[in-house]
Structure 1
Amino acid sequence: MTTDPPMATITRAAISPDTLLAVDLFRDLDLGDRTAIAKRCHGARFPAGANIVRQRDDRTDVFFIVSGSVRVNFHSKPGKDVPFRDQFAGECFGELSAIDGQSRSAEVTALSDVFVGTIAAPDFLDIATRYRAVGKKVLQQLTSMVRSLSERVVELSTLGVANRIHAELLRLARHHGVEGTSAEIQPAPTHAELASRVSTQREAVTKEIGRLVRNGILARGRGYLRITDVARLERMVENVTDI
């Protein structure tokens, strides 16, 4: 049975027009527009491990990450935690509930100390329609989410365990950023978390990670994974091939 992370004491913080430059939704707006939006935002700081959003909570505020990182988890009815995705500075979450008015479909927990801004749902919807650049980015983010979910459904239906692990590592690498031929995933998910993401057992992930390391595709360090040959991993995923 899973237990929820503790609700932390929230430290309030100011949101300035310059603060909004760190957020992808607002980065392209001029100073006047950012000043107007900042007046409608509130800031808060959460320590690592704190719960920011509860699954099935009825609140519909939208959050944007100014600094730090969070993890989005889904609690299944049997009591199993399913990590959905990690999010980092510049990204936002909570927009689904703001759009459809439904309760939260997942919980969000701070992976590190986090500084977030919040916008009430009516203000978020007004901003997304009033400012074309913001509305376009909201649509792009929702489209990206749908594409990612579609990829996962296809992978679960068509790929074996090893290839699903490869695809998830590649997805994480792209999210964290590819530099040249390599990418560093930090913080690295645990083997149990990877297993939940690709619907397999932890032992299968441990075995496949070991094979990738022995074949020079992956390197492990304290708290991180480094994909040393992203192009090779891409070919393995695209061609549904093994090592």
Structure 2
Amino acid sequence: MIEYLSKVQLFSQLNEHQLNAIASICMKRTFKVGTVLFHEKELGDAFYIVFTGSVKIYTSSSAGEEKILTLAKAGDSFGELSLIDGKPRSASAQTLEDSTLLTLTAKNFLDLLKNHFDISLCIMQELCQRLRDTNQHVYDLTFLDARTRVIKNLIKLANKNGTRQGNVISIRMTLNYDELSQMAGVQKPILMQVMRDLNEKQILAFVGQEMRLDLAKLRGG
């Protein structure tokens, strides 16, 4: 557990004593694909760290339309916001595959922040980065055309969730096309059109359950 926690971005700067403090209050739980961990507007009762698998964080409109905010993979954490400010969840979370998560109850999480300033600072830095990401997303929706948004979103997924060999990044497909279009902020037909174009130019290839993005050809195309 200690070895794993040391690789989690939030805790990478912590010493063994601090990691032991976290490990002692963590619970490891396994969830089936499609499990909703919490709904938007519910009161928060836990903080989560992805051990294996992946989780989508999303919001829903009154008409039932989803907007995916981010994809959490192994080493990522989520669910702290409503525990800190005491307000309802700002988004929902659902597993995209069978996943194992480390969970901390609200009480244990808040006690951890009170007793360990370094951990509190890591949480604050993470929240600041998410705010910057949100600001960038608003900028993209305002100023970038649909094609550029799709390509930028594919690059973002590749950087965060892909594995690289030379100029080619392989991305395992845990999101379907509806979800990819939601993340990019475009209609599904536009997403499909852009992806077909990238495929015809051999920038993007589909192999089994993977997408492969050729960065060299992308720069040239």
TM-score range, shorter chain: 0.7 to 0.9
> In structure 2, the residue corresponding to 1:73 is in which secondary structure?
strand
Q: In the alignment, what sits opposite 1:190?
A: 176
TM-score of the superposed pair, with normalisation by structure 2: 0.88
Match of 2:124 in 1: 139
| Of 70, 73, 77, the match for 2:58 | 73
Question: Of the candidates 179, 187, 211, which is equivalent to residue 201 of structure 1?
Answer: 187
Structure 2 segments unaligned to the other structure (5+ residues): none
- Residue 224 (structure 1) aligns with: 210
> Contact conserved, 1:188 with 1:225, CA < 8 A, in 2?
no
**1:74-108 alpha-carbon deviations (Å, 9 max, x no partner):** 11112101222111111111011111111112111
Q: 2:75 is paired with a residue of what secondary structure?
A: coil
Contact kept, 8 Å, 1:69 with 1:86, in 2: the verdict is yes
SS at match of 2:193: helix
Identity score, percent? 27
Note if 1:111 corresponds to 2:96.
Answer: yes
Secondary structure (helix, strand or coil) at the match of 2:124 reads helix
Mapped contact 2:44–2:79 kept (Cα < 8 A): no
Root mean square deviation, CA, Å: 2.2
**2:97 is matched by which residue type in structure 1?**
S
TM normalised by structure 1 equals 0.81
> Equivalent residue for 1:39?
24
Larger relative CO (CA 8 A, sep 6+): 1 or 2? Answer: 2
Report the CA distance shift for 1:219/1:133 in structure 2 as closer, same or farther (over 3 A).
farther
Number of aligned residues: 220
Which residue type is aligned with residue 219 of structure 1?
A
Q: Secondary structure at the match of 2:133?
A: helix
> Residue 81 of structure 2 corresponds to which residue in structure 1?
96
- Say whether the 8 Å CA contact 1:60–1:101 is kept in structure 2: no
In structure 2, the residue matched to 1:84 is 69
Distance in 2 (CA, whole Å) between partners of 1:109 and 1:154 is 27
The answer to whether structure 1 residue 170 and structure 2 residue 138 are counterparts is: no
Is residue 60–residue 103 contact of structure 1 (8 Å, CA) maintained in 2? no
Larger displacement relative to structure 2 (203-212 or 179-188): 179-188
Unaligned 5+ runs, structure 1: 1-15, 237-242
